[in-house]
Amino acid sequence: MSTKTHPYGSETAGPQQVLLEGLKAGDSAAYEQLLADYQDKIYRLAWRMTRNDADAEEVVQNVFLQIFRKIDTFEGNSSLSTWIYRVTSNAALMLLRSRKKNTDSLEDAFPRYLEDGHVEDPEPAWGNLPEERLLSDEALGKVDDAVARLAPEYRAVFVLRDVEGQSTEEVAEALGLSVSAVKSRLHRARLYLRKRLGDYFATQTTT
């Protein structure tokens, strides 16, 4: 059975410039290839940031609309995928901020120290829990809940760096931040998640 192919290969299979020229020329085949290459990736990132199917779909629509409108402004200083991640992250952040959903302050996640220099609330020893309990539906649900409580600017960094697996430099470029800002936000997000999940898993060690 023959399969339909496009004259534009994916970014990894052919020159990025060829696909870009097709997009800038308004070639429908180039946009079909872009859709095939990136729709699932954009939706996945959008969902991980919004934690909501309808919101993720809205972000996807906004992203492709922005790509259509702004592709002429892309100068190729970064990879096409990085630019698309930036557009997606910004679209998701704008949506989250417009929703004004409740998020938690990260200040409570920072360790408090006693006069003798010891940590007031040491990290719970939940690393010894059986794997099946760590990976249970309830536990994974708690992880999702904790990520959803992160403020948008911290959630974006955490999702791109620790979930999507991008490098610190890639995250900085995608979000328009300095590397030091990414590291700071990531550190705060990790501390917060460790605190929230630690509180939950601590109860599991006693049951």
Q: What is the pTM of this model?
A: 0.69
183 and 163, same structural domain?
Answer: yes
**Per-residue pLDDT, 78:** 80
How many independent structural domains does the chain possess? 2
**What local confidence, expressed as pLDDT, does residue 108 receive?**
53
pLDDT of the residue at 63: 96
- Domain assignment present for residue 6? The answer is no
Same domain, 83 and 140: no
Same domain, 126 and 169: yes
132 and 91, same domain (yes or no): no
Residues 137 and 69 in one domain: no
CB atoms closer than 10 angstroms to residue 186: 18
Q: Which residue has the tokens 């999940």?
A: 197
**What does the block give as tokens for 62?**
């906004």
Q: Backbone dihedral region of 117: left (phi > 0), alpha (psi from -120 to 50 degrees) or beta?
A: left
State whether 86 and 151 are in the same domain. Answer: no
Query: Over its length of 207 residues, how does the chain's per-residue pLDDT go in tens digits?
Result: 444 455 555 444 455 778 888 998 989 999 998 999 899 999 999 999 998 899 999 999 999 999 999 998 888 778 888 889 999 999 999 998 887 665 655 555 444 444 544 434 544 444 444 444 444 556 667 778 888 888 889 999 999 998 888 999 999 988 989 999 999 999 988 888 888 777 666 665 555
Do 94 and 111 lie in one domain? The reply is no
Question: Residue 139: its pLDDT value, please?
Answer: 62
129 and 56 share one domain: no
Identify whether 10 is part of a domain. no
The domain in which residue 145 lies consists of 107-204
pLDDT at residue number 6: 54
CATH code, domain with 198: 1.10.10.10
Let me know if residue 140 belongs to a domain: yes
Residues 197 and 118 occupy one common structural domain: yes
Helices (H) and strands (E) in the chain, counts: 9, 0
pLDDT at 8: 54
Q: Are 199 and 111 members of one domain?
A: yes
* 35 within some domain: yes
Query: Does 190 share its domain with 116?
Result: yes
132 half-sphere exposure, CB direction, 13 A CA radius:
0
- Residues 199, 113, single domain; the answer is yes
- Residues near 28 by beta carbon (within 8 Å), at least 6 away in sequence: none
